[in-house]
Structure 1
């Protein structure tokens, strides 16, 4: 069984600190950390939000799935470099 390498060309990485637009029950925009990357959306752990959105954040268990095109990276996560592929080419 061959394993297929998944290439992330979305511009987002796991661990990025992002700003997301309000949606559904959120009354304000919020910020958080990317936990998972889907095809056109991100699973974000909500870390910074307006106090008026406390009930919504609790209801969503501090997580939200947001559209990539409505999300902005504020602080990029450090992405480890895989040196094993360079060693095998030598």
Structure 2
């Protein structure tokens, strides 16, 4: 995903193998140069512990994000 096409408040989906086992959906809170801070809103029940430990927030590389449908 391009930095220029991403805005605060956009809903995105992503997959981060380091912190989450399954894809997730979230809202963009802040956009950085090559990544974005995502507030995780929807996730696989298997990731409940991971999401709790992350306080529902995760910094994700822009390449790992797509616009939610």
Using structure 1 for the length normalisation, give the TM-score: 0.70
Q: Within 5 Å, which residues of 2 pair with 1:8-27?
A: 10-27=4-21
Q: Which runs of 5+ in 1 are unaligned?
A: 1-8, 76-90
Give the alignment's Cα RMSD to 1 decimal. Answer: 1.2
Greater strand fraction, Structure 1 or Structure 2: 2
Mark the structure with the bigger radius of gyration. Answer: 1
Question: Which protein, 1 or 2, shows the higher relative CO under an 8 Å CA cutoff with sep ≥ 6?
Answer: 2
Instruction: Find out whether 1:32 has 2:35 as its counterpart.
Output: no
- Contact 2:13–2:23 (Cα < 8 Å) also in 1: yes
Count, aligned residues: 67
Runs of 4+ off more than 6 Å: none
Q: Does 1:63 align with 2:57?
A: yes
